[in-house]
């Protein structure tokens, strides 16, 4: 199986559009392709992260990692 890393950057306000994007990407992927999805973020709630992880896990051809880039200045 080939694996492709894909990076996203968004905040809590874009969780629903991201869910649509993840669903479309994973639903239309070829069987021999898996996606490593990485989300760079500052403020995505635990509940939203769980929602997105559940969506990705349902497909079985992707993984999802959240990377917090917040830290303030």
Q: Where are the domains of the chain?
A: 2-68
pLDDT at residue number 71:
67
pLDDT at residue number 26:
97
The token pair that represents 6 in the structure block: 């894909």
pLDDT at residue number 1:
84
pLDDT profile of the chain (73 residues), mean per 10: 96 97 96 96 96 97 95 58
Q: 26, 35 in Cβ contact below 8 A? A: yes
pLDDT at residue number 72:
57
DSSP string, 4-31: EEEEEE--GGGHHHHHHHHHHHHHTS-T
pLDDT at residue number 30:
93
Report the C-alpha gap between 26 and 61 in whole angstroms.
Answer: 7
Report the C-alpha gap between 12 and 21 in whole angstroms.
Answer: 15
């Amino acid at each position: 199986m080939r694996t492709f890393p894909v990076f996203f950057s968004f905040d809590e306000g874009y969780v629903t559009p991201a869910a649509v994007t993840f669903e479309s990407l994973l639903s239309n992927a070829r069987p021999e392709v898996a996606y490593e999805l990485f989300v760079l973020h500052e403020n995505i709630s635990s509940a939203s992260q769980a929602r997105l992880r559940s969506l990705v896990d349902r497909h079985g051809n992707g993984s999802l990692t959240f990377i917090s880039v917040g830290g303030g200045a």
